[in-house]
Structure 1
Amino acid sequence: MVNSIAAVAVSHVGRVRSNNQDSGYAGSSLFLVADGMGGHAGGDVASAIATTRIKEIDHDYPTAEDAQIALQSALLAANGLLAETVFEHPELTGMGTTVSALMRVDDKMAIAHIGDSRIYLLRDGALQQVTTDHTFVQRLVDTGRITEEEALTHPRRSVLMRVLGDVDSSPEIDTWTVDLMPGDRWLICSDGLSGVVRPDAIASILENVQSPAAAADRLVRATLDGGAPDNVTVVIVDVDRDTQGVSEPVTVGSAAAPVVFSQEPATHTRALRLPALRLHTPKPATGPTHFEPQTDDYFDELIEEDQRRARRRKLTWLLSAILLVVAIVLAAILGYEWTQSRYYVGESNGKVAIFQGVQQTLGPISLSSVHEKTDIPVESLSAYEQQQVEDTINAASLDDAKRIVNQLADDSAG
């Protein structure tokens, strides 16, 4: 039987962004992370509105199934509030937010999830990702088109297929319940953590740092050490671990401050809706950009575009390889031709000879050959000249080589 729950919430703006668009909440029974999007003007508002609305359901429920229904209803209500806010403040058009939430009821945990924030569970020393990202690359992974490793660097890794916002009046929200066990440690985080710190590093911190507050701080520090290109928000929930967490509900990130809207008058001008997708006002260029589709047709379009990009990439690599090979062959030909313009005098079968090329070899390949043999025995030369011939005598040209040979012949005859 689960008795105690300890929780902590931490949020950091990161090293790149100018404002925090994440929100987090650790309450008595409810725990959540929301990652807003829509640029400087809207992401923080979206996550704050959603978090503030969902916090209202933080109280006891008869069963986990009741809590699950309450979570789903709260997320849908938050979605409606976001749409109303955009109507009243058109400058926020395109804002949205992810939400990943836990609701504890006795020895069960109700879960609600939409977007690419994540919920992890550390149980018996093993870390498992409980939620599935609602992203384009996750669908590619699920359908076997790319690997998990490829997904980490995929150019469309931040394309979201589902979020709360003014895109869909009835977004699909994943909800289910999980049995709790003493010793469980739950982690909810924005992709500012999961996109920077590898799962094995997250698992090591969660396993080895006893205090949830210290573990949360270590996770944020690991993100900062990794560059922290995005906001990072962490909520840790301990189940019967003899740890101390917050005694009062705590809200962090953008939801911790009052929501402030632009003073410009509302015009109630609705944004132009494309049939397949709408490009949201991006976050600053230093971080990932989210796109939000309205229909599954967009998924097919992205797959086709991804396949075209893969074909172009392969063609580019092939052409680059061909050009590299051609360049190497041309360099080899030109280099060999240069060596064959050189001459030197040396010894061949005991006689003085003129060689064409250079004295070096390229592996088993000699870069010179006998151009002209003479009848001058090397042993007929003086000891000094014998040593010169054996060491080879460089010539400036073929004529110069013949001059050297004639000089050696005169010395031999004399």
Structure 2
Amino acid sequence: MTAPSDESVQPAVAGVRVDVGVATDRGRRDSNEDASLASGGVYVVADGMGGHEAGEVASSLAVEALRPLVGTTPDVATVAGTLRDAHARVRDLPSSSPRRPGTTITGVVLTEHEGVPCWVVLNVGDSRTYRMIGGVLEQVTADHSEIAELVASGLVPADAAARHPRRHVVTRVLGGGASDVRPDVWLFPVSPGDRMVVCSDGLTDELTDRRIEVELRTAGSAQEAADRLVAAALAAGGRDNVTVVVVDATVPRR
């Protein structure tokens, strides 16, 4: 269940230390189409689609396209440009079926802006990034999915979204058939005690945000938190691949 991370490669932001945990499981699927990168300030999860072989290749290619950001302090434009490059690489993958390979991707990159440690949040698709601070969990990314649009427009009640037949239809991916991609990328300061949670929808399909918050409050280290969340998702049904990256940040108080 526990997946490898490279904590020996610390972020390039002065004074910031991180504790990182990574866990993954294929769940009740035949293979695991998720991929993750957790090293040197880059913490992302990708959830591939297009058939198990194509999905695995798409998600792995996407996270590898972000590896040049490891150990750097990129700005928002650099991260967005790297995501567009990842989109082009995935889109160029050969396809033996009408459904072209694609992948979601979400996460954070630790950087510095005007001397202040910051997170660059990135997202394409319906995998999610959360932030917990002071014991309170909040979703910081917006799902790119049909059901999210229906809820936002008031056509579907929020409490019915988890059961809606269109809940897994994504509206933005890396790769797929679109010639370009519009990634969500933005910046906000790191706060002391930030716990960032990056996950595929195998977690959020099985656990409510409230349950995720409870598990995070119970866990000590980042690795314990990642392991607990994956175990809870499997116990709740584990119908899909589930991958979780947890990042605890320690920063000097200003």
Report the TM-score when normalising by structure 2. 0.88
CA drift of 1:227 comes to: 1.0
Match of 1:45 among 53, 57, 75: 57
Amino acid at match of 1:232: V
Instruction: Pick the structure with more helix per residue.
Output: 1
Query: How does 1:11-410 map onto structure 2 within 5 Å?
Result: 11-14=24-27, 16-61=28-73, 66-86=74-94, 89-91=95-97, 93-106=99-112, 107-240=117-250
Give the SS at the match of 2:93.
helix
Offset at 1:239? Answer: 1.1
| Larger gyration radius, structure 1 or structure 2 | 1
2: CA distance between counterparts of 1:99 and 1:19?
Answer: 18
Asked if the contact 1:32/1:188 (under 8 Å) is kept, the reply is yes
| TM-score normalised over the length of structure 1 | 0.55
* 1: CA distance, partners of 2:241 / 2:234: 10
- Secondary structure of 2:37 counterpart: strand
- Aligned partners of 1:189, 1:236: CA distance in 2, in Å? 9
Check 1:43–1:212 CA distance in 2 against 1; reply closer, same or farther (3 A cut).
same
Change (3 A) 1:2 1:186: farther
How large is the Cα RMSD of the aligned pairs? 1.6
Shift of 1:198: 1.0
Alpha-carbon distance in structure 2 between the residues aligned to 1:131 and 1:203: 16
Native 8 Å contact 1:2 1:182 kept in 2: no
Equivalenced residue count is: 234
Letter in 2 for 1:50: A
Q: Are 1:4 and 2:33 an aligned pair?
A: no
Post-superposition shift, 1:93? 4.8
4+ long deviations beyond 6 Å: none
Superposed displacement of residue 82, structure 1:
1.4
Q: Distance in 1 between matches of 2:32 and 2:165?
A: 24
C-alpha distance after superposition, 1:145-179 (max 9, x if no partner): 11211101001100111111131121111010011
* Structure 1 residues not aligned, in runs of 5+: 242-414
Confirm or deny: 8 A CA contact 2:91 2:174 kept in the other structure.
Answer: no
Contact 1:54 1:74 in 2 (8 A): yes
Task: Tell me, in whole angstroms, the C-alpha distance in 2 between the residues paired with 1:130 and 1:212.
Answer: 19
Taking structure 1 as reference, are residues 60 and 188 closer, same or farther at Cα in structure 2, changes over 3 Å only?
A: same
Whether contact under 8 Å (1:34, 1:98) holds in the other structure is yes
> Alignment identity in percent?
34
| Partner in structure 2 of residue 365 of structure 1 | none
Give the letter for the 1:165 counterpart: G
Whether the aligned pair in 1 keeps the contact of 2:91 and 2:102 (CA below 8 Å) is: no
CA displacement at 1:25 relative to structure 2: 1.1
| 8 Å Cα contact 2:19-2:221 kept in structure 1 | no
SS of 2:193's partner is: coil
What SS does structure 2 have at the residue aligned with 1:204?
A: helix
Which consecutive unaligned segments of at least 5 residues does structure 2 have?
1-13
SS across alignment from 1:77: helix
Q: Which residue of 2 aligns with 1:276?
A: none
Q: 2: CA distance between counterparts of 1:12 and 1:111?
A: 24
- Deviations along 1:156-207, one digit per CA (max 9) or x if unpaired, are 1001111111311211110100111111100000000011011111001112
Distance (whole Å) between structure 2 residues aligned to residue 104 and residue 183 of structure 1: 14
CA shift, 1:92, in A, is 8.3
